[in-house]
Structure 1
Amino acid sequence: MAQDYTRGNLVGTVTDQAGAPVVGAEVTIRSNEQGFTRTTTTDSSGQFRATALPTGTYAVTVTANGAVVVQDNAA
């Protein structure tokens, strides 16, 4: 089976300051090069997964209860 090095996955866990999982947080992933956006929601363990993303850099924003709690603008 050939490997695909043109796509990857972004996975993570969103926790609060006490280390508890943040359930239902919205994770927005924006491609810096191509401009498209993917949005996913954290599960009951605070985990999220975005699959088959083209290689490149991404800006990630996490919103919980209507407030931006994390924003990472990777370059």
Structure 2
Amino acid sequence: MTSENRKIDSLMQQAQELERSILAAHRLDRLVLYPEFSRTLARLRVAGERVPSRMLRLEQMLSEEAAEEMFDNMPV
């Protein structure tokens, strides 16, 4: 196994662990994990790895939740 393959395997494992943590967490805890999850997926893309669609959907859902949270906390 090459160094690049090990790196990709490690990134995928990290993404899977974050995915499990996010799915098991409460809403605000998920948002805390979102930036790291998104960065990990971005690194997978840069490495040329295909990101599973379920992870892309989760990333999109977290992005929407983060936007909602930002507007919920705006002063009126």
Structure showing the higher strand proportion among its residues: 1
Query: TM-score normalised to the size of structure 2?
Result: 0.27
Structure showing the higher helix proportion among its residues: 2
Q: Which has the larger radius of gyration?
A: 2
